[in-house]
Structure 1
Amino acid sequence: MLVNAIWKKINEGDIAPVYLLTGTEQFLMDMTIKRLIKALPDTDADTVIRFDLEETPIEAVIEEADTLPFLEERKLIIANNASFLKASDKSKEKVVHNIAMLETWLDNPSPTAVLVFVAPYEKLDGRKKITKTLQQKTVVVETNALTGRDLTTWVQQEASTNGVKINAETAQILVDYTGDSLLSLSSELSKITMYMNGAGEVTKELIELLVPRMPEMDVFRLTDAYMTGNVKETIKIYHDLLRNGEEPIMLTSLIAGQIRLMIHVSTLVKKGYQQQQIAKTLSVHPYRVKLIMENRRIPNMERLLLILKKLAHIDHQLKTTSGKRERVLEIFFMEPMR
């Protein structure tokens, strides 16, 4: 079931006894828990009972769930780090869980508690019986990072929740400015909504006015325009960056970094790595990796290495020249790529 459909049920008071939150998108996990807190009578952030399953055995969680609540109708219990659901080395586990006890309990969960298992992992071990049991007997909330059309659709839905409208094209512009972090996108939408007094349609002009663009995104646009031979667009972006206070030496370094990232991503893709694996291996934002992987106009390895060599020469020129440094990089952009 999609996250939005689960949230709708929670908002309507249709709350399941047990949830399994799995995936790597922390924002979606946090929002699911916030909705449960809001939907449960006499429950707030201070009354939520939390366990760390890497420190506490599952028996303690079940015992708490079966204990009658004191003031609430139903108590909310969050069991974090359900690492027994992923492939792991048992010899390194700090806690031994009574999985058989959990499997039996799931057949008849407590009617006076809502238990949320949090497994913040990209992949669970589907071979394990307990993984299959939880997936069958709980409401599973998959919170993986959104990409492409799913991401722009989420932006449109989030805007609607805030009382404003945004079309798919403008939603993509917001993503281009902000990246694919749902927390950042939600924050920027809230800011835009406040500016619009909670009514109307978000426009490109509003985004340009209110949303700071990630420096990496401007460098990506600049590099992409240069490598596709669009001299006019390259110079325009370059001058915009200069007006915003960027220095030619810094821009040269950032462009070289973008080229090196392209080389690394291309190499790892050939080895069969996926987007999240590449981002983790290279310690960069997944959205930057996504843009490179989706770009069909990236030159071959030989040409990328040649550009790096040219940029090294430009860097030396910029650090040794006493004239107009802006012109040095501009001439480089105007030269045709070979």
Structure 2
Amino acid sequence: MANATWKNITAGVIEPVYLLLGIEQHIFDTTIERLKKAIPILDETSIVYFDLEETPIEIVLEEADTLPFLEDRKLIIARNASFLTAQDKGREKVVHNLEVFESWLANPSPTATVVFLAPYEKLDARKRITKLMQKQATVIEAKRLQGKDLTTWVQHEAKLNDSKISSENAMLLVEVAGDSLLSLATEIEKMATYLAGEGEITKEVIEMHVARTPEMDVFRLTDSYITGKVSDSVSIYHDLLRNGEEPIMLTSLISGQIRLMIHVQSLRSKGYQQQQIAKTLKVHPFRVKLLMENKKIPNETRLLKILDNLATIDYKLKSTSGKRERVLELFFMRGIRN
């Protein structure tokens, strides 16, 4: 939906009302930037911002119906349209006159484009105003992309930056940088600038330019350990220590990874699919996908034994005053057979 609407905006087909719904900030930012470029605005004063948690909707509508000064059209950005959600009325900071808003939606201003931002997972579909907004406004869903959709987006973004990347390396980039489109777009732009329009974003380029998050390094560390790669485990562990990570925190994160593996195995044995598992465990489907595709993960009994060993290590780390780094290092050096 976003790509089709973006094409229309670029072609100069500008709608009077947009509703941006979801938690992917990059889609919000991209839509607004495209509107700024497409609408011939000479002065920044013709771009007006409101926070609907602080300002009544009537003020926004009044601004929309006021003729722009020396411009054909003004752009209005109305953030935090929480009145479309199932929030408790007692928690509302301002009261919105939604009857006036409903009447306005039937005949919006011809000299303004109003963009309502709803940075929420979902709206309250039972509300009359929500139903009317979804009917009258041009809706763009800013949802987190998953699986093939996400890697396809990475490849498309690379192309927009005069570069290219294989699906395999697009998946690697997601593994390293995470699934935030904003972060991915930043990393792709950085690597494309380095390549200067020549060559391809390869594994080597990714490893050279993209900094791994501690969470992704812990994922690599846990994966190396449970697959029996002792030297890799120790090497990654030392890298994390050099970056200032603490053994107690690392033990906790590794234990979380092991618990996730146990839960994924358990739900998978009950017939749950990838998306169902991700939703049940409230983790990103990409993480579940990586675990489900890893054939070297031990069975549940072995994972529980590892978890028990980590609990013992956690106790030692919290009760010792010596070199804590060595306690966890010995765990990795003994390997999965310990």
Please indicate the TM-score interval, normalised by the length of the shorter structure.
Answer: 0.7 to 0.9
CA 253–94 in structure 1, closer or farther in 2 if over 3 Å, else same:
closer
**Of residues 325, 331, 334 in structure 2, which corresponds to 1:332?**
334
Call closer, same or farther: CA 1:299–1:307 in 2, change over 3 Å: farther
Quote the RMSD (CA, aligned, Å).
3.4
d(CA) in 2 for partners of 1:139, 1:248: 47
Q: Deviation digits for residues 299-327 of structure 1, max 9, x if unmatched?
A: 53733531323433774798646997796
The worse-fitting range, judged by mean Cα deviation, of 38-47 and 163-172 is 38-47
Cα distance in 2 for residues equivalent to 1:46 and 1:190: 30
After superposition, the C-alpha distances for 1:110-167 in whole angstroms (9 at most, x for unaligned) are 1110011111111100011111111111110111122222211111111111111111
1:76 to 1:322, Cα distance in 2 relative to 1, 3 A: closer
Q: Which amino acid aligns with 2:313?
A: L
Report what 2:246 is aligned to.
250
Residue type of the alignment partner of 1:148: G
3-state secondary structure, aligned to 1:194: helix
1:19 and 1:115 in contact (8 A); partners too = yes
Give TM-score scaled by structure 2 length: 0.83
Report what 2:85 is aligned to. 86
Native 8 Å contact 1:318 1:328 kept in 2: no
- Number of equivalences: 324
% identity of equivalent residues: 44
Q: How does 1:121-270 map to 2 (within 5 A)?
A: 121-227=120-226, 230-231=227-228, 233-242=229-238, 246=242, 250-251=246-247, 253-260=249-256, 262-263=258-259
SS at match of 1:185: helix
> For the structure 1 residues 313 and 336, does the alpha-carbon distance in structure 2 shift closer, same or farther, using more than 3 Å as the test?
farther
How big is the shift at 1:24?
A: 0.9
Paired residues of 2:317 and 2:327 also in contact (CA < 8 A): no
Given the superposition, is the C-alpha separation of residues 92 and 177 from structure 1 closer, same or farther in structure 2, using an over 3 Å criterion?
Answer: closer
Does structure 2 conserve the Cα–Cα contact (< 8 Å) formed by 1:18 and 1:139? yes
Change (3 A) 1:306 1:175: same
* Counterpart residue identity of residue 328, structure 1: L
Aligned to 1:282: none
CA distance in 2 between partners of 1:157 and 1:63 (Å): 40
Range with greater deviation from structure 2 (198-207 or 37-46)? 37-46
Cα separation, 2, equivalents of 1:247 and 1:24: 30
Is the Cα contact below 8 Å between 1:19 and 1:141 reproduced in 2? Answer: yes
Q: Determine the C-alpha separation between the residues in 2 that align with 1:322 and 1:128.
A: 56
In 1, distance between residues paired with 2:188 and 2:280? 29
Q: Structure 2 vs 1, CA of residues 318 and 172 (structure 1 numbering), >3 Å: closer, same or farther?
A: farther
Distance change (3 Å), C-alpha of 1:151 and 1:234: farther
Contact 2:84-2:124 within 8 A present in 1 as well: yes
AA of the residue aligned to 1:25: E
Q: Which residue of 2 is the match for residue 312 of structure 1?
A: 314
How far apart, in 1, do the equivalents of 2:262 and 2:332 lie? 27
Q: Is the 2:57–2:96 Cα contact (8 Å) retained in structure 1?
A: yes
Comparing 145-154 with 235-244, which one deviates more in the overlay? 235-244
* Residues 54 and 43 (structure 1), Cα distance of their counterparts in 2 relative to 1, 3 Å cut: farther
Counterpart AA for 2:3? N
Classify 1:277/1:116 alpha carbon distance in 2 versus 1 (closer, same or farther; 3 Å): farther
Residues 77 and 191 of structure 1: is their aligned pair in 2 closer, same or farther, counting only changes over 3 Å?
same
Contact 2:313 / 2:327 at 8 angstroms: preserved in 1? no
Q: Is the 8 A contact 1:76 1:113 kept in 2?
A: yes
Q: Return the letter of the residue paired with 2:46.
A: T
* Cα deviation 1:24-71 (Å, max 9, x = unaligned): 111211111111111110256553111111222211111111111112
Runs of 5+ unmatched residues, structure 1: 280-285
Q: Note if contact 1:20-1:138 (Cα within 8 Å) is conserved in structure 2.
A: yes
Give the superposition deviation at 1:95: 1.9
Change in Cα spacing, 1:44 to 1:179, as seen in structure 2 (3 Å) is farther
**In structure 2, do the counterparts of structure 1 residues 32 and 17 end up closer, same or farther at CA, with 3 Å as the change threshold?**
same
Aligned residue type for 1:217:
M
Deviations 1:177-212 (A, max 9, x none): 111122211111111011101233211111111111
> SS at 2:46's partner residue?
coil
Whole-Å separation in 2 of the counterparts to 1:69 and 1:324: 68
> How far, CA to CA, are the matches of 1:176 and 1:218 in structure 2?
10
Residue by residue over 1:249-270, the C-alpha shift from the partner in whole angstroms, topping out at 9 and shown as x without a partner, is: 9356414322135537977998
Counterpart residue number, 1:31: 30
* Partner Cα distance (2:238, 2:138) in 1: 52
Residue 107 of structure 1 corresponds to: 106
Following TM superposition, by how much is the alpha carbon of 1:241 offset from its aligned partner in structure 2, in angstroms?
4.6
Could you tell me how far 1:4 is from its partner in structure 2? Answer: 1.8
Q: What secondary structure is seen at the aligned counterpart in 2 of 1:142? A: strand
